[in-house]
Structure 1
């Protein structure tokens, strides 16, 4: 069966290469915005979960793969998005979460992870075994490829036994690891074409060794580092001249494109250049929850003006993050002023891990209730959400709490629409 991913890959053999946005978030407003965007553009919506976010033990979201599928499907049903328009992906599936264990037990859990994802209905599987396990002594690209093929065999067998559609695969990993650069001065090294060639050759050989020739035909993308990244306060913008050798190389590999991670905060022109250079799958996550956070902070400022008993959600967030610093403490450096700014405003957006905390959820619902009880003054909307103000003024956007937040997220998605060659209403 030809999938939309196959169609995107095929487009790169012609004059108008297409891309696809990979939304990497479990936030309900982000997922809703992505689904609504898919309805407006009449294109499939790719939503991905990572192995540490969603796994057979619950991950940090507390959701198994089956739970995540139900969660997304419930949002889709609520907004009227057809299930057939939804494509679910599993990101960095491998032993990452258990890399501190011996390879035997880590890979046993990785096999169970892939099985759970495939059984739940995920049809885009990123096989990533690039991390050494606790007892790995002879860890090499060949070992990485062999482990990826081992996991692909689990996926294929699971589909065969259960009569499920066979998935598309993504192989490889980016350098540095996903999640944002760790230091302001960290320099990025664009993946060398010879390294990309080695990954493809070794993984193909490992697939064929296991009799997975048909599965190899469904490998659609290779994860590489094109020179894009972000940190707490900086953005490494794509410089296409530095990635031209890498871009030309993939043209010699029929049926393959690149997948680019950490494309958050890239300018629209840079995103389009990435797609034109065959980095066809654009992964984005923190930029979307960053937009959500900006909208909430703006609405909280409006609330302070119009409500006698405000939610004080910014204070609640700060208190919650200080009480449970596990998600930010080792990432945000500097003095206390710098760390406080980072907690609220960093591009890394580690505040996203706290929106589901009970106290924060309660404050958010109070903010929502407070502003739904009043008519938000246009003058305050102009001050704090100027782009949304213009749409409200012109009758293109309801002056309502949820609509304002969703439109703020949609503004980010629109950059990806343009980059991927799709338009609202097409």
Structure 2
């Protein structure tokens, strides 16, 4: 059943609080799996793009907000997914991509980006101006972050009016450490202090009011805090409801808000369900989905090498290794030199996700080589034990990969209680 942002807080006091799953990925296979899942379950497909990934200059994907929106809607049409089920969001919208510039210059860029997101139909905006710009501390204080967020909200409100669109809903605050996974070993993370979360919410409310944005603040549906979840290269900090009990209790005084939990990847269904039950009702997932996508693609790569000796080894693996070695900027500072040989491909932080576009030729070649072939059960038992039902039937490689992605999506949606 379709769930809206405005519905979330109202479910918290019911016997079955519900959540929304926020898919943060631009990979077409992940988007297609997400939209196919929404079609089949008639649930909301909340799909989000980040400021570095998609912006008015193209971001690292080369897509503007309008490009990303059109890609999502085109795939939805191809999959027969009702566009009414799609909710587009923008994540960490603020000066981060331009933080090496003076504040006014960075904020001007952020304003243009936010306006483009709104004009493209993005109706959930996470306003995050917590990062310092040139000559400023790495993190701003609540007052400055709120002032800058209000400035961006005013831009978004104007952009919606100009485009004749409904005004957007907002998410405020940020988590520590920054998004994308930690670079160090992870086994436990301290949740945000309740008093710090309370101050963030109160300061934003006051600053929005002083800016004449009371109506906009009424559409703030969530605050981003750190519930104590994180993932790194090879470890995951699993949610502990007791450690976050103070944060959850804060929502008793804020019946119109929920918390948005970032970096919930690799938690598993039970911890995800506990997050939803305790007020963290927007679950953001990204690297886990491209991680399991890579897992499935590498399984097909190994199967093809065993089944078709003329391929002479794992061609897709070799193409990805070549791409990452040729341009190390997306992984070099994140992985230890002594272990980078395996971390490039298999780390939970999944920085390999930046390199798939450059290896599309190898992916196309792999799919062409094995499409329609019947995969013997022993090979699936060796390389893809989750997909034994695919044995001895004509293989659809894209469907094989999307089925693997949907295992993770199913766990998220079951935890959010929006599918039976």
Query: Is the structural similarity TM-score above 0.5?
Result: yes
CA distance in 2, matches of 1:32, 1:263: 21
CA distance in 1, matches of 2:141, 2:234: 34
With structure 1 as the length reference, what TM-score do the two structures score?
0.94
Q: CA deviation at 1:398?
A: 7.0
CA distance in 1, matches of 2:100, 2:22: 29
* Match for residue 400 of structure 2 among 398, 404, 426: 404
CA distance in 2, matches of 1:308, 1:60: 36
CA distance in 2, matches of 1:167, 1:85: 16
Is this contact kept in 2: 1:167–1:218, CA < 8 A?
yes
CA distance in 1, matches of 2:310, 2:164: 56
- In structure 2, what is the equivalent of residue 178 of structure 1? 179
The Cα offsets for residues 57-83 of structure 1, whole Å up to 9 and x where unpaired, read as 000000010111111111111111111
- In structure 2, what is the equivalent of residue 51 of structure 1? 51
Instruction: Name the stretch that deviates more: 302-311 or 44-53.
Output: 302-311
- In structure 1, what is the equivalent of residue 253 of structure 2? 252
Runs of 4+ deviating beyond 4 Å: none
The Cα offsets for residues 83-102 of structure 1, whole Å up to 9 and x where unpaired, read as 11110000000001111111
CA distance in 1, matches of 2:363, 2:157: 43
Ranges in structure 1 where 5+ consecutive residues have no aligned partner: none
The Cα offsets for residues 161-213 of structure 1, whole Å up to 9 and x where unpaired, read as 22101111000000111111121168522101101110111100111111111
- In structure 2, what is the equivalent of residue 41 of structure 1? 41
Q: CA deviation at 1:3?
A: 7.2
Q: CA deviation at 1:334?
A: 3.7
Matches within 5 A, 1:344-423: 344-357=345-358, 360-389=359-388, 391-392=389-390, 399-423=395-419
Instruction: Name the stretch that deviates more: 187-196 or 286-295.
Output: 187-196
Is 1:118 the counterpart of 2:114 in the alignment?
Answer: no
- In structure 1, what is the equivalent of residue 324 of structure 2? 321
Q: CA deviation at 1:13?
A: 2.6
With structure 2 as the length reference, what TM-score do the two structures score?
0.96
The Cα offsets for residues 1-47 of structure 1, whole Å up to 9 and x where unpaired, read as x9701112211132210011000000011001111111122111000
CA distance in 2, matches of 1:242, 1:185: 16
1:243–1:416 Cα change, 3 Å: same
- In structure 1, what is the equivalent of residue 237 of structure 2? 236
The alignment's C-alpha RMSD in Å is 1.7
CA distance in 2, matches of 1:309, 1:90: 45
- In structure 2, what is the equivalent of residue 198 of structure 1? 199
Is 1:65 the counterpart of 2:68 in the alignment?
Answer: no
CA distance in 2, matches of 1:379, 1:139: 56
Is 1:91 the counterpart of 2:91 in the alignment?
Answer: yes
Task: Report SS of the residue matched to 2:22.
Answer: strand
Ranges in structure 2 where 5+ consecutive residues have no aligned partner: none
Matches within 5 A, 1:266-305: 266-305=267-306
The Cα offsets for residues 228-262 of structure 1, whole Å up to 9 and x where unpaired, read as 00000101111111000111111210210000000
Is this contact kept in 2: 1:175–1:189, CA < 8 A?
no
Is 1:332 the counterpart of 2:335 in the alignment?
Answer: yes
CA distance in 2, matches of 1:217, 1:342: 44
The Cα offsets for residues 341-363 of structure 1, whole Å up to 9 and x where unpaired, read as 10110001111111100xx1111
Task: Report SS of the residue matched to 2:281.
Answer: strand
Is this contact kept in 2: 1:176–1:188, CA < 8 A?
no
Is 1:312 the counterpart of 2:315 in the alignment?
Answer: yes
Is 1:144 the counterpart of 2:145 in the alignment?
Answer: yes
Task: Report SS of the residue matched to 1:49.
Answer: strand
Q: CA deviation at 1:328?
A: 0.5
Is this contact kept in 2: 1:398–1:404, CA < 8 A?
no
CA distance in 2, matches of 1:218, 1:3: 16
Aligned residue pair count: 416
1:219–1:291 Cα change, 3 Å: same
- In structure 1, what is the equivalent of residue 79 of structure 2? 79
